[in-house]
Chains A and B, each alone.
Chain A
Amino acid sequence: MKARRSLFWLVFLSALSLGFSVMHNNGALSPIEDIILRASSPVQRVIRSTSTSAATTLEDLRRFGELRTENERLNLTVSELLAEVASLRDTARENLALREAVKYVQQNPDLNLVAARVVGHDSSNLLDTVIIDRGSSAGIRKGMAVVWRGGLVGRVIESTPNAAKVLPVTSTSSVVNVTVQGTDANADGSASGRTNDLMVMRQILENQNLETGQFVVTSGLGGGFPKGILVGQIVNIRSSNSSVLREADVRPFVDIKMLDTVQVILEYERG
């Protein structure tokens, strides 16, 4: 009896389903479907977004080991690429420096220059000296001037066949005879390094007309350096109560710490 009743309901509901199907095809159910969809869509949207997030998290957890391996591999690749980029940048910088060196040589045919790379700094942190990769075998000897793009770097204080040690002009041990461009012939002095990356120009007479912003160049006195090599720019002028001489702070033209390449003046026309 029960089975017959169930079968009856099965047939009845199946027929009703087919009826609904026909009504749907005729559009008779559209209002009801619209109401249901409108009512359910906010909930469905929440379910969809939540389940998508949850599925993504589950997928990430499932792939954790794989992701870790991939991450390690990618980190390795990034390291290799960074090293390559650094090497390329270094090459580009060196290339630019060498172009500048060639340009400077072409602009100064009276100077006999030899290019050298800066290969090291004094490791004691007590001295300011830099090491270059050319030495006596290239004709470099003690006392020669070292320049970069027309600016004075320093002088050679030691030379071995394949390397030389350069004392920068910014060193407190360095003294260079200089003059100020744009003043009369007596505006001479001597420049030496200070501890704060500035140089100090001393022995400037009181009557000499100095202004900040003026350029300081080598005077050529004493024979150590050719005349007219740019040393720096005056940034401050001081007067002393105890002396008639004045002092000026000079910002060096060449940033010694950033140097990669330098040129050593082997010979120059004195005059």
Chain B
Amino acid sequence: MARFLGRRRRPNLFARPVPGSAASSRFYFVLILVVLASMLQSSLSSGFEVFGVIPDLVLVFLATWAAVSRPRRIMLWGFGAGFLLDVLSGAPVGANMLALTAATFIASMGGAGLFRTSLIWALMAVFLGTIAYYPIMMLLLATHGQSLDWVQAIGSTTPAAVAVNLMACVFLYRPVSALERFTRGRQPYRMS
């Protein structure tokens, strides 16, 4: 009807996926993976630290997912995953929410083109996401009265996190791409 009247139909970010559809299965797959990644990230032993940091699994997954899938709701995923991460990890509620929302926004930016389906774009998304995530987290933690060693956080932790997240992205890229193809179903390829 809207098309008939010549009005452009706006996408509804909060629209629930139709049960049984490809979008529905994709929604549940991503939901499970986001919950698992949040739990893993908040419970992983410090023995899994590389360069002194544990990979930001939620951020890496969402940034990679944003790169390979270009979903409309990626910021909502960042927002929801951030809330879960805040609750599970004992961080001040709102810190991860805001940081992950901003990180997924930055990771989902970029024009369409050949790079969007390649590992390079996923790495770029993870890089930008991490670069956005850490300063925002630091600022938010500082506003919550947490004492931070800024020199170490900026000079050591953030570069290490960027390196580790990029490595994690290299490992996660293929499985995430496979999941994207598996759950794409018969959806038409969207350019935007």
Identify the A interface with B (CB < 8 A).
2-3, 6, 9-10, 13-14, 16-18, 20-21, 23-24, 29, 32-33, 36-37, 40, 43-45, 47-48, 51-52, 54-56, 58-59
Contact = CB atoms under 8 A, between A and B. Distances in A.
Given A16-B79, A37-B87, A47 B97 contact: no
Interface of B: 13, 39-40, 42-48, 75-76, 78-79, 82-84, 86-88, 92-95, 97-98, 101-102, 105, 108-109, 192
Contact of A48 (B45, B76, B93): B45
A262 to B, nearest CB: 63
Given A20-B83, A40-B88, A58-B47, A6 B42 contact: no
Contacts of A48: 43-45
A24 B92 contact: yes
Given A17-B97, A24-B94, A10 B39 contact: no
A51 B43 contact: yes
Contacts of B97: 13, 16-17, 20-21
B76 A13 contact: yes
Contacts of A47: 39-40, 43-44
Contacts of A16: 79, 97
Given A2-B192, A13-B75, A40-B39, A55 B83 contact: no
A58 B156 CA distance: 24
B54 to A, nearest CB: 10
Contacts of A14: 98, 101-102
A118 B124 CA distance: 85
Contacts of B40: 47, 51
Given A2-B192, A37-B87, A29 B48 contact: no
Contact of B93 (A21, A37, A40, A55): A21
A16 B83 CA distance: 11
A37 to B, nearest CB: 6
A254 B92 CA distance: 82
Contacts of B192: 2
Nearest to A1: B8
A124 B123 CA distance: 82
B48 A55 contact: yes
Contacts of A56: 47
B88 A6 contact: no
Contacts of B13: 9
